[in-house]
């Protein structure tokens, strides 16, 4: 994989890519090791924005044969070099995976790669992205969004979420979970950017839902509808649903479905249970319901996922 950096590079954004993809040796697991390259339009000194610079040896030709081309965010994200835009177009034309973290999405938009597709960037800049590039369908409410072979992610730590999404997509849930454990983060976060944007303190006297969320993950096979969860939390269904969205950034149904699909992934990879048995074990009840939700979330059927990622 190749990461394109430019003057004004954001060190944390670059760091998230290095942390997930650039670790050259991790003997504690059998996760894949990648040919990781950092490249820039003019090799040599690349000015940073946080009191230190980078020295980069590779020019943009290092991205020419990469299976995954990443665009790191930079300070002056509204200006673009033709050579960098051409890297994005060439990668897109040859079918490589492309990932723009944070304001790197502006690079892809300027290259025309995002025309007609959904994309995101840091919540602070979503309005500007939509204004400058009206042909891009900007999603301000997600941590990342994928359109074909192009992935865009929200700012800062969401770079880890987006990278783990790609890891999960290409190598399966086990490898993504192993990578997450190595870098000491959860394999998947729930919700979207809305949960990280400053707002008034919610008007709710209920205790935090943290213990309930922990309980849900261990009891996915049970009735986890809003009314049942509200009773367990000693709240009215309406108050519970409001508080749940305030704390997680999503609805109870979406949160539960997300974790049921994640549990199904693990069973499909690591067990010999039938698809019907997996569906019952994770709370979907039957194979048809599992297939419906799994295919919508992962883009492939449970059977195909098992063929691709079974241990």
Could you tell me if residue 194 is inside a domain?
Answer: no
CATH number at residue 46: 3.40.50.880
Of 155, 183, 211, which residue sits at a domain end? 183
Q: Does a structural domain hold residue 189? A: no
The structural domain count of the chain equals 2
Is residue 54 situated within a structural domain?
yes
Among the candidates 183, 215, 245, a domain finishes at 183
Domain C-terminal end among 183, 215, 237: 183
Same-domain status, 258 and 160: no
**pLDDT tens digits in sequence order for the chain, 311 residues long:** 999 999 999 999 999 999 999 998 888 888 899 999 999 999 999 999 889 999 999 999 999 999 999 999 999 999 999 999 999 999 999 999 999 999 999 999 999 999 999 999 999 999 999 999 999 999 998 889 999 999 999 988 999 999 999 999 999 988 998 999 898 887 777 666 654 544 333 333 345 788 899 899 999 999 999 999 999 999 999 999 999 988 888 899 999 999 999 999 989 988 999 999 999 999 999 999 999 999 998 888 999 999 988 86
Please indicate, yes or no, whether residues 297 and 237 belong to a single structural domain of this protein. Answer: yes
DSSP string, the chain: -EEE--TTB-HHHHHHHHHHH-----TTS-------EEE-SSSEEE-BSSS--EEE-B-GGGGTT-SEEEE--BSSTT---HHHHHHHHHHHHTT-EEEEETTHHHHHHHHTTTTTSEE---GGGHHHHHHH-TTSEE-TT-SEEEETTEEEE-STTHHHHHHHHHHHHHH-HHHHHHHHHHHTS-S---S-GGGGS--PPP---SPPSHHHHHHHHH-TTS---HHHHHHHHTS-HHHHHHHHHHHHSS-HHHHHHHHHHHHHHHHHHH----HHHHHHHHT--SHHHHHHHHHHHHSS-HHHHHHHH--
User: Which range of residues forms the domain containing residue 299?
Assistant: 203-311
Instruction: Give the tens place of pLDDT for each residue, 177-212.
Output: 899 989 888 777 766 665 454 433 333 334 578 889
């Amino acid at each position: 994989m190749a990461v394109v950096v430019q003057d004004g590079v954001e060190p944390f954004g670059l760091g998230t890519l290095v942390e997930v993809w650039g670790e050259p040796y991790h003997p504690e697991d059998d996760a894949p090791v990648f040919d990781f390259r950092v490249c820039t339009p003019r090799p040599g000194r690349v000015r940073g924005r946080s009191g230190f610079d980078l020295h980069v040896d590779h020019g943009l030709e290092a991205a020419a044969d990469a299976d995954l081309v990443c665009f790191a965010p930079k300070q002056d994200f509204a200006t673009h070099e033709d050579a960098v835009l051409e890297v994005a177009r060439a990668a897109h034309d040859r079918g490589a995976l492309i990932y723009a973290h944070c304001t790197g999405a502006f690079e892809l938009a300027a290259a025309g790669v995002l025309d007609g597709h959904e994309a995101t960037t840091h919540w602070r800049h979503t309005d500007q992205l939509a204004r400058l590039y009206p042909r891009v369908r900007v999603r301000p409410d997600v941590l990342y969004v994928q359109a074909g072979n192009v992935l865009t992610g929200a700012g800062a730590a969401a770079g880890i979420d987006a990278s783990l999404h790609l890891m999960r997509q290409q190598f399966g849930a086990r490898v993504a979970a192993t990578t997450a454990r190595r870098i000491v983060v959860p394999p998947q976060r729930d919700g979207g950017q809305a949960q990280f944007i400053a707002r008034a303190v919610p008007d709710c006297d209920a205790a935090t839902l943290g213990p309930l969320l922990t309980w849900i993950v261990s009891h996915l096979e049970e009735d986890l509808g809003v009314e049942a969860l509200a009773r367990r939390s000693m709240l009215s269904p309406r108050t519970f649903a409001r508080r749940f969205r305030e704390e997680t950034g999503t609805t109870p149904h979406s949160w539960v479905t997300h974790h049921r699909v994640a549990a199904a992934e693990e069973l499909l990879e690591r067990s010999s249970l039938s698809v019907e048995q997996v569906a019952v074990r994770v709370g979907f009840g039957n194979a048809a319901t599992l297939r419906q939700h799994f295919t919508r979330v992962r883009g492939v059927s449970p059977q195909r996922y098992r063929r691709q990622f079974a241990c």
